Amino acid sequence: MSEPYSNPVGPNLAPQSRQQVPAVAEFLWRLFVNSLRTFHGRLELVSRIFLGIFSWPAAWAAFVGLGKAARTRSGAASSSGTPITNSPWPKRGCRSKPADAGRSA
């Protein structure tokens, strides 16, 4: 029995599957082209383009704004000496002491 073809870059597909990938791509392309034949299809394409153009800057601004807000909040908490309580790691240079370290027996 022969071993299957090992593709180091992509998925290891059987020969029948490798023939289906271009067929599916061709089907999706024809579906897209045929959808542009109607006014509704062209209008949907234009709306998707405008939505992509106008929503991308808003999403980026929200991403940057939330990052700055989180950074400002964490900077205010750490610069005032108040530890950040939701951090799973201790501050650098701090070592926790055992509970009975100060007691003498």
The CA distance from 89 to 96, in Å, is 11
Does a structural domain hold residue 90? no
Q: Tell me the per-residue pLDDT of 12-67, one tens digit each, with 9 for 90 and over.
A: 667 777 788 889 999 999 999 999 999 999 999 999 999 989 888 888 888 888 87
Does a structural domain hold residue 89? no
Does a structural domain hold residue 59? yes
What is residue 8's three-state secondary structure? Answer: coil
Domain encompassing residue 47: 17-79
pLDDT reported for residue 49: 93
Q: Tell me the per-residue pLDDT of 75-91, one tens digit each, with 9 for 90 and over.
A: 555 555 555 555 555 55
Whether the full predicted model's pTM is greater than 0.85, yes or no, is no
Does a structural domain hold residue 69? yes
Specify the number of domains making up the chain: 1
Does a structural domain hold residue 40? yes
pLDDT reported for residue 25: 93
